[in-house]
């Protein structure tokens, strides 16, 4: 498995999934335009070696396909992601084993945790070059400006590391940073994130909040930071579990924080509670320009370290498909066992990329009693932190392929009476970037019960569904070549015929 970002870039290049571009390119709009065209067609990662205004090359679209996300986790196929999720589910809500086999499984997972404990690197590559105070100049980095209406250049793939001022627990998150000056940036984050809790505590204690931003880390560390974890679990530990061994950390030069030792760049700074800047507008994941925030926390950086010959890793947000959507598809598979453990009746769930990978969810249940679909929807919203911002939850029976929109739409239209089966939850804390809400940060959620109804949900007998005769279907499968149709897929629907891909 690749040990750092540059090692991973070599891996995907060997597999024909990296294209080097030596022609001069501009980080102002041009790089994003090229990368977006690659994303739209599932193209390779790009390494721009000649970036105007900066001595550093830019890597982008590195996780622009689910296949490359899997490679970043040391896996070869999507099917392995759910196995990883089963392991994480045991850690998420450990339960006393009732069988010897469960005890053995728990023991294996705990051993994996021991192996995943972070190590220390006393000669970290991320500190081969150290720049302090006036030497810090963020304008020398190849920060992207993605859309014409963006207020300024941004960092989008940096890991922000903060620490709780009281209990010293560490939070690692991925937030957008916008350039304000040669040594300062504003941060855009949601109020429920761990770093915001740390800033509130620092303000209560009258302290500055220390902030480190690691840029250009191995993909598995980014995915670990994007995974919703219980507050008391470490993203570093999860990164080690993802990778099968502990990642190496090193202490910052000017802060009491630790960062990945093999990061390409590390920015070190502080947020003074109450010191803010004007952030935005900037293109965001909703597919619109995010509004202007006149009270965005301001980070002042006093130190920058980096490797010799570093590579700047970046991405950008916008209407799907984008890199974050590909990451979300992979994480969806990892979340599934965790979600089943929290809500046992859920058989499977799917977050469509077209719904921004979190705004709408389709879940299937093994329905056993009336009202169960509503219960499952309510439980889903509270199961994991990021699901609290899911606007629509559609619940279907277990025999519906939730990744096939034709089947989901059929379930909605044939099994739903809107007055009975649609329910609204008003006035919930909400994503401030969602312009559809009447009030900023406050919106409603909708659940749709698209399951087969049982008494007393309905007094009408439900007719049997139309299905093929299984014996005839098996016979036709066996004789398919005899019909002269061997070049066709046993009569299966070609998803491309309908303009979408229904492959799981």
Say which DSSP state 126 is in.
G
The SS3 of residue 340 is: helix
DSSP alpha helices (H): ranges in 343-456? Answer: 372-383, 405-415, 418-421
**Among the options 4, 121, 262, 284, which is catalytic?**
284
Q: Does residue 501 carry a catalytic annotation?
A: no
Alpha-carbon span 18 to 10, nearest angstrom: 8
The SS3 of residue 242 is: helix
Query: Could you identify the residue written with the tokens 């919930």?
Result: 428
| Burial (CB count within 10 angstroms: exposed 0-12, middle 13-18, buried 19+), residue 487 | exposed
Say which DSSP state 481 is in.
T
Say which DSSP state 250 is in.
E
What are the start-end ranges of the E strands in 216-330? 248-251, 258-260, 265-279, 282-283, 289-290, 293-306, 312-313
Query: Could you identify the residue written with the tokens 């980096």?
Result: 306
CA nearest neighbour of 82 among 307, 330, 269, 257: 330
CB-side exposure of 493: number of CA atoms within 13 Å? Answer: 13
- Residue 178: CB atoms within 10 Å: 25
4, 218 Cβ separation under 8 angstroms: yes
161, 125 Cβ separation under 8 angstroms: no
441, 432 Cβ separation under 8 angstroms: yes
Query: Could you identify the residue written with the tokens 């810090």?
Result: 136
Q: What are the phi and psi torsion angles at 228 (to 5°)?
A: -75, 115
What does the buried/exposed string (b/e) look like for 307-324 if buried means 16 or more CB atoms within 10 Å of the residue's CB?
beebbbbbbbbbebbbbb
DSSP string, 91-143: HHS----SSHHHHHHHHHHHHHHHHHS-EE-SS-GGGSEEEEGGG--GGGS--
**Mind telling me the catalytic residues?**
284
């Amino acid at each position: 498995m690749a040990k750092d970002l540059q090692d991973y870039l070599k891996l995907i290049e060997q597999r024909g999934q990296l294209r080097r571009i030596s022609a001069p390119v501009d980080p102002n709009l041009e790089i994003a335009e090229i990368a977006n065209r690659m994303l739209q067609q599932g193209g390779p990662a790009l390494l721009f070696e000649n970036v105007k205004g900066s001595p550093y090359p830019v890597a982008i679209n590195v996780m622009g396909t689910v296949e490359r996300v899997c490679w970043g986790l040391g896996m070869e196929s999507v099917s392995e992601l759910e196995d990883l999720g089963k392991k994480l589910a045991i850690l998420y809500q450990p339960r006393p084993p009732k069988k010897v086999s469960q005890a053995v499984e728990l023991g294996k997972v705990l051993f994996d945790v021991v192996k995943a404990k972070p190590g220390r690197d006393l000669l970290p590559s991320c500190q081969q070059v150290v720049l302090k105070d006036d030497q810090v100049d963020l304008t020398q980095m190849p920060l992207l400006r993605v859309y014409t209406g963006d207020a300024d250049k941004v960092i989008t793939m940096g890991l922000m590391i903060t620490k709780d001022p009281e209990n010293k627990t560490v939070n690692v998150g991925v937030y957008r940073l916008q350039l304000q000056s040669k040594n300062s940036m504003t941060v855009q984050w949601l109020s429920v994130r761990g770093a915001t809790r740390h800033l509130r505590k620092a303000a209560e204690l009258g302290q500055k909040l220390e902030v480190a931003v690691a840029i250009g880390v191995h993909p598995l560390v980014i995915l670990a930071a994007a995974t919703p974890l219980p507050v008391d679990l470490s993203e570093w530990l999860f990164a080690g579990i993802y990778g099968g061994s502990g990642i190496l950390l090193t202490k910052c030069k000017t802060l009491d924080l630790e960062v990945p030792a093999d990061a390409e760049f590390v920015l070190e700074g502080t947020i003074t509670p109450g010191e803010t800047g004007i952030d935005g507008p900037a293109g965001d994941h909703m597919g619109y320009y995010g509004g202007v925030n006149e009270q965005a926390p301001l980070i002042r950086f006093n130190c920058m370290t980096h490797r010799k010959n570093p590579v700047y890793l970046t991405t950008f947000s916008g209407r799907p498909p984008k890199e974050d959507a590909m990451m979300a598809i992979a994480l969806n598979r990892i979340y599934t066992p965790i979600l089943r453990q929290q809500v046992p009746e859920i058989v499977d769930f799917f977050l469509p990329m077209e719904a921004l990978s979190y705004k709408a969810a389709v879940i299937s249940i093994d329905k056993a009693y009336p009202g169960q679909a509503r219960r499952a929807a309510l439980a889903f919203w509270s199961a994991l932190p990021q699901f609290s911002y899911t606007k629509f939850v559609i619940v279907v029976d277990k025999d519906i392929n939730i990744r096939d929109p034709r089947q989901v739409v059929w379930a909605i239209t044939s099994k739903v009476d809107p007055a009975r089966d649609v329910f609204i939850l008003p006035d919930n804390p909400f994503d401030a970037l969602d312009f559809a809400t009447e009030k900023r940060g406050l919106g409603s959620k909708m659940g749709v019960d698209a399951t087969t109804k049982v008494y007393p949900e309905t007094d009408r007998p439900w007719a049997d569904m139309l299905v093929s005769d299984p014996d005839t279907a098996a016979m036709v499968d066996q004789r398919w070549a005899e019909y002269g149709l061997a070049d066709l897929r046993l009569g299966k629907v070609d998803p491309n015929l309908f303009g979408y891909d229904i492959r799981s």
